[in-house]
Amino acid sequence: MPYEGEFATGESLLSLERSEALREFQGSVRKREEADAPNPAVLTVPRNSWMPNRVVAVDGSTINVPVDNGFPMADVSLLKVALVSIDLSKLNLREREIPSPRVFYEMERAHTFDKVLPGANIIRPNVQGDTPKDFFREVVQETLEGKIGAAHESLIDTVRAITANRERVGKRPRCPVEDCENELGIGEGRYECGCERKAALYEADIFRFSERFSDVSSNGEAHGEVRHLVEVLSLVNVLRFFASKDETLGYLRDNVFILDGPLALFGHAAWLAPYVRDEICRINDKCRNKGFDLAVFGVEKSGAFVEHFNQIDMTPEGGPRSKYAKKTAIALEARYINRNIALRPEDAKPHGKDTYFGRKVLYKTATGDHAVITTAIANEASRDLYRNDEPCYPRVGDILNVLDHLATYLYTDGFMPLVRANAHAAIPLRRGTDIIHGLFDGSHP
């Protein structure tokens, strides 16, 4: 990357023209034969006019800010994850604009997790021999000890509950404490390593976020991984809350649950994805006994699947978004995804096998918007990534109704519940920077 204000002068071109590297480069652009243009399976979805009472949407944000311009560098992030419940009975569904803030005040309830995540060179002044990494580990633990409501279990309780039979985990990770050779000890909440120093361990250490922690540069990525885990755990926590009692199970039938982003876990927390999948299947089994399935999905606004949808919904005559009729749902199975999107051999390991707890559907809404969604893997059919018939997508008709009715004209392919969740989760950069600097005012004489 060039420095700011720096422009290429062309001097380098002279030597580049004579260079071996240029002459020897053998690459060519991979082209597709016309005959094997992608032709994904269109899903036949019986439709009705069902709408949920409420939509519950989860979204989060982190902004990373350097807190001291001196040396060495230091950084913290502001984390905010919002869980917003929108009462659709108060919404006029014929108006596709977003209602005024006053209307939302009456129709929605929000819970937010707020936390300041420490990064490089931030320590606890009252802890002797403290390190930034240890501080970060403790704050991750505190974050996961958060609850959505007094009656809910905490997020770390959710982790403990869904991993109770951890037969999948092979070797324990190493102890995160500096210079400790032990494997990570097992315990609940806050406990001690079995080593001589009896160093502090946290239940959240199992996520190994500290392995991504840097003592010398920005920790935006490590903090972003924490945020994504909090988002996914908030969703699972809320589903478990309603599934825990027979009296509240009906909420899972009458409401729809939405995550901003795909139903997946990446990075250090990815090991939890199969447990989330099992838990959603367990909850769905409970619902099935009462005659319904869960309506849980994720919405992604960018990435390879969004681009792929744009590419295939095109004709030479009509241009972009001219190929598929409105209300077309396309169901993707593993071979198609490998061949056309992941660009791997068809029989390679299915995309998302270890990280996803949802199945991809491309949907062109009633108004012609594009929606790339993942519907929750909630039953045996959806676990089979080579299948893409209707049983793989529980409640898909109901989910598509929600997409059709809650699109918004304000943003291309915008979706009202996520616009609202984002309104609660987003931190304006300038304001967030001021907040963070305020925290450290006076701490440096």
Q: Is 200 in the site for Zn ion (CB under 5 A)?
A: no
Closer to Zn ion by Cβ: residue 180 or 281: 180
Closer to Zn ion by Cβ: residue 182 or 244: 182
- For the CB of residue 16, give the shortest distance to Zn ion in the complex, in Å: 52
Closer to Zn ion by Cβ: residue 176 or 352: 176
- Select the span of 20-28, 156-164, 189-197, 318-326 touching Zn ion (CB under 5 A): 189-197
- For the CB of residue 193, give the shortest distance to Zn ion in the complex, in Å: 3
Burial status of residue 372 (CB atoms within 10 A of its CB: 0-12, 13-18, 19 or more): buried
Q: Is 273 in the site for Zn ion (CB under 5 A)?
A: no
Q: Is 184 in the site for Zn ion (CB under 5 A)?
A: no
* Residue 55 backbone zone (phi > 0: left; psi -120 to 50: alpha; other: beta): beta
- For the CB of residue 128, give the shortest distance to Zn ion in the complex, in Å: 18
Closer to Zn ion by Cβ: residue 20 or 196: 196
Q: Is 175 in the site for Zn ion (CB under 5 A)?
A: yes
Q: Is 195 in the site for Zn ion (CB under 5 A)?
A: yes
Residue from the set 159, 193, 280, 416 that interacts with Zn ion by CB under 5 A? 193
- H or E segment to which residue 285 belongs: helix 273-289
Strands (DSSP E) contained in 196-254 are 200-202
- For the CB of residue 24, give the shortest distance to Zn ion in the complex, in Å: 50
Closer to Zn ion by Cβ: residue 198 or 344: 198
Q: Is 182 in the site for Zn ion (CB under 5 A)?
A: yes
How distant is the alpha carbon of residue 390 from its chain centre? 25
Closer to Zn ion by Cβ: residue 5 or 129: 129
Residue from the set 180, 232, 283, 400 that interacts with Zn ion by CB under 5 A? 180
Closer to Zn ion by Cβ: residue 154 or 182: 182
Residues 277, 280, 284, CA angle at the centre, nearest 5°? 140
Q: Describe the crossing of helices 132-144 and 155-162 by its angle, rounded to 10 degrees.
A: 80
Cα–Cα distances in angstroms (integers) from residue 439 to residues 22, 113, 114, 228, 429, in the given order: 52, 18, 14, 24, 15
- Select the span of 78-86, 191-199, 211-219, 329-337 touching Zn ion (CB under 5 A): 191-199
Closer to Zn ion by Cβ: residue 202 or 336: 202
* Six-digit token string for 236: 């699972």
Count the residues of the shown chain that bind Zn ion, applying the rule CB under 5 A: 6
Closer to Zn ion by Cβ: residue 177 or 341: 177
- Select the span of 28-36, 44-52, 102-110, 174-182 touching Zn ion (CB under 5 A): 174-182
Residue 189: how many CB atoms within 10 A of its CB?
14
| Concatenated DSSP letters of 360-402 | EEEEE-TTS-EEEEEEE--SHHHH-TT--SGGGSTTHHHHHHH
Residue from the set 177, 265, 294, 392 that interacts with Zn ion by CB under 5 A? 177
Sign of the torsion formed by the C-alpha atoms of 257, 258, 259 and 264: positive
Write the DSSP symbol of residue 294: -
Cis previous bond, 72, omega within 30: yes
- Select the span of 118-126, 185-193, 354-362, 420-428 touching Zn ion (CB under 5 A): 185-193
Closer to Zn ion by Cβ: residue 22 or 186: 186
- For the CB of residue 330, give the shortest distance to Zn ion in the complex, in Å: 50
Q: Is 206 in the site for Zn ion (CB under 5 A)?
A: no
Cβ-based neighbours of 82, under 8 Å, separated by 6 or more: 58, 59, 60, 110, 111, 112, 113, 421, 422, 424, 425
Cβ-based neighbours of 90, under 8 Å, separated by 6 or more: 103, 106, 107
Say how many residues make up the chain.
445
Q: Which residue has the tokens 């681009």?
A: 307
Closer to Zn ion by Cβ: residue 81 or 180: 180
- For the CB of residue 126, give the shortest distance to Zn ion in the complex, in Å: 22
436 and 76 Cβ atoms separated by less than 8 Å: yes
Query: 126-165 mask for Zn ion (x: CB under 5 A)?
Result: ----------------------------------------
Write the DSSP symbol of residue 79: E
Contacts with Zn ion, residue ranges (CB under 5 A): 175, 177, 180, 182, 193, 195
